[in-house]
Structures are given as structure tokens and as C-alpha cells.
Amino acid sequence: MTILVTGGAGFIGSHMADHLLARGHRVVILDNLCTGFEENVPAAAEFVKGDVRDPGAVAAAFDKGVEAVFHIAGQASTIVSFDDPAEDLSVNVTGTLNVMNECIRRRVTRVLYASSMTAYGVPAKLPVTEDEPVRPISYYGITKEAAERYLFATAGRVDLDFDFHVTAFRMFNVYGERQSLDNPYQGVVTIFMANILKGEPITIFSDGEQTRDFVYIGDVADAWLRALDNPASYGTVYNVGAGGSISINRLVDVTLDCFGKSRETYEVRYLPERPGDQRHMTADISRLRTDLGWEPRVPFDDGMQRTLRWAVNKSAPGA
């Protein structure tokens, strides 16, 4: 199949592209290189440099004969969503509408969408299931959820003369190789690693007792690949987490330990909680297990070691 990966020069998208190519698919990447890097684009993929907000760029990517879309391009920071809500809205919602319109125009029947656990806001119970009401507390959560709804509403349109199959993945805290070491707004695992590699103090927002469900990128890609041509996933939302719960304080200790350091030897400071920060998040992953036979295979310590090796290598002089 020919698959368009929007955001394919970024952390999550480039891993998806690698996995698709390994399965023998043809991959087209659309990315504006705003937070992605051209070096992440696999040599075997076709690259269209452009913004999902630009209908012409989206059409140029679809011109390559696209049969399915992994829609991952987006503004991915809760902090940026509060600083510039219009930017967050345009990238995440208008960008998705452009992709969707092009699917309708060309009868592209399959879209897999990168949604987010931020859609849940503060769930009444944990682990959170996909049936929990969504009440986002960040602007980012609102735009990710809105795009999800546009896609599912379109899939249900009675006036479409073709089947439009949508699957949305509410991703929890994805981490791994190629997550940014330079973006202070995205991905706490590599933010802490980058802090240590640069000799900067580590900053914990709030008391550090907030928890997250960290899921390794290879496991996330595996979930998407299993869903691609599996009808059980059509019209379905899936949580993608590891089903675990790790506090930010523990993450700091584990990260310091990876570098042979501890809080006695390294500065860790606490700053006030930031807006839109969820307190506790853990995914119920039974739906993904049942429908797609998926299991998170990479334990947290293993994933941290893999990410660490990559980060150290990437930061080595001359790298």
C-alpha cells in the first residue's frame, strides 16, 4: 500500500515510516520541519515538505497515489496551546480537516489518527477506559479531541459514496529514540536526559507526585501497524499506553541513576504546577489487547536504556 505519514519527520511519525517500510509499504511523508528533522525521513520514503494547514501541500502529498493515511502532524505541546491557542487550533483542527477533505475528494478509505490521552482531562477513575467521558483541561486536549470527532463524524456521513474507516489512538506518554533533546515543551523523558547531558538543573513542575503511563515508541508503532488493515479497529478509539503508572519524581531518580548520578550530586528544583497539567494518568489497554492482540513488549527500564544510548550518542561531540 502507499501510505501518507503526516508529521513523518518527527519523533512518532518517523518511527511509523520505518515500520511501514519494513513491512513493504510505500511511504510518502508530509512534514513542514517545524519540530521534525529531515534527517529523520527514511531514505526509502518520498518526502513532501509542506504544512498540513496548506491545502495545496496536502494535495501534493496525495498526488503520490496515497491509499491510507497515518495522520500524526500536529502541534503537540500543552504549553504552546495555552501560549498560542489559535496556532494550536489551526494546526490540529484545520490541518486534520485538510487531510480529511483530501481523503473525501479522492476516496481514500483509511485514516489512522494520533489522538491524545489529554482528551480525558481528569478522569473519574483510573486506569481510564476509552468509554470514560472526555473533558479536556488543556486547549491542546480540546483540539486533539475535536479532530477525532471530525474524523468519526465524517466516517458516519450518509452522503459519502465510499467507506471511510477511521481509527483514533489516544496516546499516553510516548518516549524513545528521536524524541527531541532540544524542545523544552515536549516529552519529559528526553527533557530530563537533555538536562543532564547539558549539565542543566532538572526542573519538576508541581510536587513531582503526578504520574504518567510511559509507553515505548516501538510498541506504539506495533499497535498502529496491527490496526492498519484490521476491520476490528475501524470506527474505534484505542488507548495506547503500557498500563503502568510512574511518578515524575521516580522518573527523575531513574534518569539520574542511568547517568550514575543522584539527587545528592545533581540539582533538582521544584517550580509551580503549569496550566492544563493532568495529575494522574494510566491507560486501560484491554481494548487494544482484545481487538488487535497487542501487548506492550518493552519494559520501562529497557526502553529508558535504549533511549539513553541514543541520547548520549546524539549528544556526543561531532555527532
Residue number, 95 or 187, with CB nearest to ligand UD1: 187
Selected binder of ligand UD1 within 139, 172, 216, 300 (CB under 6 A): 172
Q: Is 81 in the site for ligand UD1 (CB under 6 A)?
A: no
Contact 41, 9 (CB under 8 A): yes
Q: Is 77 in the site for ligand UD1 (CB under 6 A)?
A: yes
Ramachandran angles phi, psi of 2, nearest 5°: -100, 120
Smallest gap, in angstroms, from Cβ of residue 25 to ligand UD1?
A: 24
Residue number, 99 or 204, with CB nearest to ligand UD1: 204
Selected binder of ligand UD1 within 105, 107, 198, 274 (CB under 6 A): 274
**300, three cell numbers:** 520501562
Q: Is 25 in the site for ligand UD1 (CB under 6 A)?
A: no
Residue number, 104 or 146, with CB nearest to ligand UD1: 146
Catalytic residues: 140
Coil/strand/helix, residue 144: helix
Q: Is 307 in the site for ligand UD1 (CB under 6 A)?
A: no
Contact 8, 31 (CB under 8 A): yes
Residue number, 104 or 126, with CB nearest to ligand UD1: 126
Site size with ligand UD1, rule: CB under 6 A: 23
**What b/e string do you get for 252-290 counting C-beta neighbours within 10 Å, with b at 16 or more?**
bbebbebbeeeeeebebeeeeeeebebebbbbbbebbee
Q: Is 72 in the site for ligand UD1 (CB under 6 A)?
A: no
Q: Which of 66, 72, 73 is nearest to 27 (CA)?
A: 66
Cα three-residue angle 178-175-129, rounded to 5 degrees: 145
Q: Is 203 in the site for ligand UD1 (CB under 6 A)?
A: yes
Instruction: Map grid coordinates 479522492 to a residue.
Output: 106
Cα three-residue angle 298-125-226, rounded to 5 degrees: 35
Residue number, 75 or 236, with CB nearest to ligand UD1: 75
Coil/strand/helix, residue 14: helix
Q: Is 285 in the site for ligand UD1 (CB under 6 A)?
A: no
Selected binder of ligand UD1 within 6, 32, 35, 78 (CB under 6 A): 78
Coil/strand/helix, residue 96: helix
In the complex, which residues of this chain contact ligand UD1 (CB under 6 A)? 76-78, 116-118, 171-174, 185-188, 191, 203-205, 210, 212, 248, 274, 277
